[in-house]
Amino acid sequence: MGHPTCVYVRPIKPDADCSRLELFKSFESMGVTVIQGELDDHKKLVSVLKQVDVVISTFAVPQHLEQLKIINAMKEAGNIKRFVPSEFGNEVDRVSGLPPFQALLDNKKKIRRTTEEAGIPFTYVSANSFAAYFVDYLLHPHDKSDQVTLYGTGEAREKDLEASQLYPDYNFTCVDEFLNIFLVNPPKPKLAAFA
């Protein structure tokens, strides 16, 4: 990455997946220092953080609030010049969602507010949502359920913006078509999705 770089990873077990071991080896061959440790090992976390200027977190969705432990440790270390929390999605202070998605947004917001209150300089990376992630994961395409939950009345509110309004020249009816249009040859939207 052009700077001395450490990655703090969960302890590598002897029966760890080969691809995981290969990944760490490839990091080390690039000069990255791989440090094994638990997130709950506050003392160790602080001692590692004291050696770095910038902290980039890539925690997965269920672990977002675990970043509170990193913030506590950064406060104690007192030397961190920039924190990039695990965001890489929607601009959470400007969007709202249905309850399960709102819970995810709320966790990211909590991490933002705690970072700001701790006085740690930060950068929030908002990349919006990746269509492939939604289709493959969030839409639960592999679930076998006969029931669908509709929140509220199911009626769109007046201020809601339908995706079809962004790309009025396109109609898509199936996932393949959707992916072809938006991933292979994306058109320019008529309106910005998020101002």
- What is the enclosing helix (H) or strand (E) of 137? none
Least separation in angstroms between CB 119 and ligand NAP: 23
Which residues share a beta bridge with 126?
89
7 DSSP 8-state letter: E
Site of interaction with ligand NAP (CB under 6 A): 9-10, 58-61, 63, 86-89, 127, 129-130, 133
Between 13 and 188, whose beta carbon lies closer to ligand NAP? 13
Least separation in angstroms between CB 87 and ligand NAP: 6
Angle value at C-alpha 168, between 95 and 186, nearest 5 degrees? 75
**How many Cβ atoms from other residues are within 10 Å of residue 175's Cβ?**
13
Between 83 and 87, whose beta carbon lies closer to ligand NAP? 87
Q: Are strands 82-84 and 54-56 parallel, antiparallel or unpaired?
A: parallel
190: left (phi over 0), alpha (psi -120 to 50) or beta: alpha
- The two three-digit tokens of residue 136, written as one number: 């493959």
- The two three-digit tokens of residue 155, written as one number: 């009626």
Residues with a catalytic annotation lie at 108
CB 79 within 8 A of CB 53: yes
Between 42 and 168, whose beta carbon lies closer to ligand NAP? 42
Between 58 and 123, whose beta carbon lies closer to ligand NAP? 58
| Distance between CA atoms of residues 50 and 42, nearest Å | 12
Least separation in angstroms between CB 108 and ligand NAP: 7
Least separation in angstroms between CB 115 and ligand NAP: 14
